[in-house]
Every structure is written in structure tokens, then in C-alpha cells.
Amino acid sequence: MNGQAFSVLTDHRQRYCAAIRQARHEGTEAFQAWFNREAAHTPQQAQVRGFWDFSVHILTPTVCRLLSRPENRIALEIGYGGGRLLHAACHYFQAVIGIDIHAEADAVRDYLHTQGVTNFCLLQTDGAALACHDASLDFIYSFIVLQHLPSFDVLAAYLREVRRCLRVGGVAQLYVGTFSRLHPLYQLACFAQGYKETRPVEANHISLVVRVGRLKQICRALGLHMVETGTSYFLAPDGYTRRPGGQTYVTLLNTNL
């Protein structure tokens, strides 16, 4: 990453850390609600919606087809936030690693312990790396996070990390900001580049949308086979499939080719 990309990432990290620290100071409700404002106003709602999002958006039929023996598998979430998806993942896998740029892991850990969940580990990342050994993970997922990345370079860095950390045969289910949510004139202007970055002044605003064709290119170059792409849905299950959301998923298989 060049100097400018590095300083953009540093600003991004500081902005998120400050906003999430502030939410924590406002109490458990504000903290849990911060990560999924459309659906959750209480910690209990956040957990219920987390289980739904994990089941509907992460464990798609294709992911289920590609995964086996989950009781022996290690999963990793990029951007675990308040832990609502990680909470669900802990019931589906042997163990789950959560990485995030915020510094409030102790609050999330304590909350998950009160829910009786202990088979996880939370790590703070610099915002572009997975602090895991090569070929050590079976499944990597991310939801409502990659659309907030500060640049396409950071997304590319994460995809390289996904390739490095997934074992051969490992699977990733990643949601990025949908390119077609751009105004048609911007879509035209950014088509060849394949993405658009913006520089929001606040945390939790959309800062990156990517065209699937561009993602496919970069994944192919890395040796990640794109098995499927599709859309997110707004507030699953309420009217599920009637209202597409603003994210696009890619299901990736590490073929090591």
C-alpha cells in the first residue's frame, strides 16, 4: 500500500474507533445498536437479527454445499462489530475468530460470555490484514463491512489475505457495496475502473462500491474461484426476497490453482 493509501486507512481507523468508543460510552443498547441501526434497537434484537442474517446471508445453499464437517472447522469474521453474527457463527463452527479495527473487544467478549458463548477469539486488525497463519482457516465471512472500506486497495489487500489464510478447499462469503446503487452517470464513468470510492466524513457511511466483473478479475488472479454472486436483502426475513439490499455477495473457493 502506498503512503497516501496508508494515511487514508489510518484516518478511517481513527474515525471508526472514535465513533464506536462513543457508542460504548452511551451504554450496551447504544453500543449493540450502532452496528446494525436499521434492524436493532436493543441487544436482544441485535442478536435475533444476527442469527437471521447469518442464516440467510452467510449460510446460503451454495456455502452449505461447499462446507462439510463444520463442527471441526474454524471460521473468521472480518468486521465483527458488536458480535451479533459471530454469536450465531459460534453455534455453527468449532471456533470463530473475529477481527475488527475498533478497540472495544472487551465489551463484546463480556457480552458474548453473558450469552454463554466462549468458543471465539477477538483480534484488533490494522484494517487490511488477517492476523492468522497461512492456510489456517476453513471459512471467512463478512457482512456490512467491505462497503465501508476506505479504498479499493484495502479490499484488494483483504482478498490477498483471504487467499493466504484459507486452506485449499476453504470458502469465503463476502459482501461488498453494490455497484448498481450508483447513479447511472457514475456507473458509466467508473465502469472501466470497476469501482467507486468516496470519502465520507462519518463512520458507517458507504465508501466503496465494486462491480462484480472487477472482483472476478482480481479473484481469478489470486487463485480464488468465484462460485456464485448474488444480492443481500433488506431486513431479512421481513418480506424476504421482496426487497434487495445494497450489498452484493461473492462466494469464493480457494482452489489453489
Residues that bind ligand SAM (CB under 6 A): 16, 20, 35-36, 78-81, 84-85, 100-102, 125, 127, 143-145, 148-149, 154, 204
Q: CA 167, 249, 54, 246 torsion: positive or negative? A: positive
Cβ proximity to ligand SAM: between 144 and 174 the closer is: 144
Task: Please say whether the beta carbons of 171 and 66 come within 8 A.
Answer: yes
CA 209/CA 182 separation, integer angstroms? 8
Cβ proximity to ligand SAM: between 68 and 198 the closer is: 198
Beta-bridge mates of residue 99: 78, 123
Task: Please say whether the beta carbons of 222 and 160 come within 8 A.
Answer: yes
Residue type present at position 54:
F
Give the nearest distance from C-beta 119 to ligand SAM in angstroms: 18
Give the nearest distance from C-beta 77 to ligand SAM in angstroms: 7
Task: Please say whether the beta carbons of 211 and 179 come within 8 A.
Answer: yes
**Closest-approach residue to ligand SAM (CB):** 81
Cβ proximity to ligand SAM: between 11 and 134 the closer is: 11
Helical segments of the chain, H only: 3-25, 28-34, 43-53, 61-66, 84-92, 105-114, 152-165, 184-190, 212-222
Cβ proximity to ligand SAM: between 36 and 251 the closer is: 36
Task: Please say whether the beta carbons of 107 and 116 come within 8 A.
Answer: no
Cβ proximity to ligand SAM: between 125 and 251 the closer is: 125
Give the nearest distance from C-beta 192 to ligand SAM in angstroms: 25
Give the nearest distance from C-beta 87 to ligand SAM in angstroms: 10
Cβ partners under 8 Å of residue 59, min gap 6: 92
SS3 content of the chain, % helix, strand, coil (to 5): 45, 25, 30
For strands 95-100 and 120-124, give the pairing. parallel
Phi-psi region of 240 (alpha: psi -120 to 50; beta: other; left: phi over 0): beta
Give the nearest distance from C-beta 148 to ligand SAM in angstroms: 5
Give the nearest distance from C-beta 144 to ligand SAM in angstroms: 4
Give the nearest distance from C-beta 239 to ligand SAM in angstroms: 20
Cβ proximity to ligand SAM: between 73 and 148 the closer is: 148
Cβ proximity to ligand SAM: between 207 and 254 the closer is: 207
